[in-house]
Amino acid sequence: MAELPLSPEDLEILNSKIGLKYLMADKKVNVERALRLARYELSLRSLQTELIKMQQWVIEQRKRVVILFEGRDAAGKGGAIRRMTAHINPRHYRIMALPKPTEEERGQWYFQRYVNRLPKPGEIVFFDRSWYNRAVVEPVNGFCTPEEYAIFMGQVNHFEKMIIESGTYLIKFYFSITKEEQARRFKDIKSSPLKKWKMTPVDERAQELWDIYTEYKQKMFAETHTPHAPWLIIEANQKTFARVEATRQVLARLPYPKDESTPELPEITLSREPIRICQNEEHTSRPLSNQPG
């Protein structure tokens, strides 16, 4: 096995407390893995510090921010939200992972339950799944009628435009994983006494219905990616990459004051197609037919 070439920077990281922690984490030393995880933790810490500055701007300027996460089951949406919120002020953010609608909510305008949970001035709201349940999960699993689906698709862009024109910042993420990676994660969840509660009947059918999910996902991107509310598709097979890149995108897209201590952030560009953020080629747009899950 060829030796991993290490730069002076690599050696400095590996000799730090964080680097040594990962070097000693396994019985057999894996330098490449330890270096990757140490770099991830250092990057995440820097970004989490910046999130505190960003949130302070939200509070002081009484801004309203919505960050929604969509993606396949087990794509890592909740984990990314937990990393983003780990150190920010809990009094000024909320995480919304809504259960099935109540009987009263079923009789309301579909968007009403989400309107009721939009941020107040000085607040960030994270949606772990959002109104886009009706674009993919509900029609795939028969939880809505074709008419309800069509009404939603006809209204959602107008709904989001109204939110944004009212002064709310809206950031839309889709965490993309492969079918094989989803199967691996499901196996891990089922085999863990601490995680198996996460599996739902919808999750159990996800692999079987993969292609139908793909069809509705592509319709969602084609019809709801707009200049005012673009889709940001994050390659999420590697959870550490997805968490860091989602955080970088949030910081880049909010106009809080940045200075020399701000980590390097992506350049924001407009695109006719959803912006695909990959490990080897960031901020690129690919034809929808070439995208994984």
Q: Which residues pair with 176 in a beta bridge?
A: 235
| The predicted structure's pLDDT at residue 284 | 41
Which residues, including other chains, have CB under 8 Å from residue 283's CB and lie 6 or more apart? 266, 267, 269, 275, 277
Give the Cβ contact number of residue 107 at 10 Å. 9
For residue 99, the domain's CATH number is 3.40.50.300
- Give domain status of residue 127, yes or no: yes
- Give domain status of residue 41, yes or no: no
Q: What are phi and psi of 175, to 5 degrees?
A: -90, 120
Distance CA 210, CA 179 (A): 7
Q: Are 84 and 51 in contact (CB under 8 A)?
A: yes
- Give domain status of residue 11, yes or no: no
| The predicted structure's pLDDT at residue 292 | 63
- Closest to 168 in 3D by CA, of 267, 84, 22, 64: 64
User: Within 13 A of 128's CA, how many CA atoms are on the CB side?
Assistant: 18
Predicted structure pTM score: 0.90
List the alpha helices (DSSP H) in 127-209: 137-141, 146-165, 179-191, 201-206
- Give domain status of residue 73, yes or no: yes
Structural domains in the chain (count): 1
- Give domain status of residue 36, yes or no: no
| The predicted structure's pLDDT at residue 7 | 85
Helix pair angle (31-60, 239-253), 10° resolution: 30
- Give domain status of residue 241, yes or no: yes
Distance CA 197, CA 248 (A): 31
Pairing of strands 123-128, 168-176: unpaired
Q: Show the domain range for 203.
A: 60-290
What are the percentages of helix, strand and coil residues in the chain, rounded to 5?
Answer: 50, 10, 35
Size (the chain), residues:
293
- Closest to 262 in 3D by CA, of 40, 13, 9, 49: 49
- Give domain status of residue 23, yes or no: no
- Give domain status of residue 196, yes or no: yes
Residue ranges for the chain with pLDDT beneath 70 = 1-3, 281-292
Distance CA 242, CA 264 (A): 16
In three-state secondary structure terms, 176 is: strand
| The predicted structure's pLDDT at residue 14 | 82
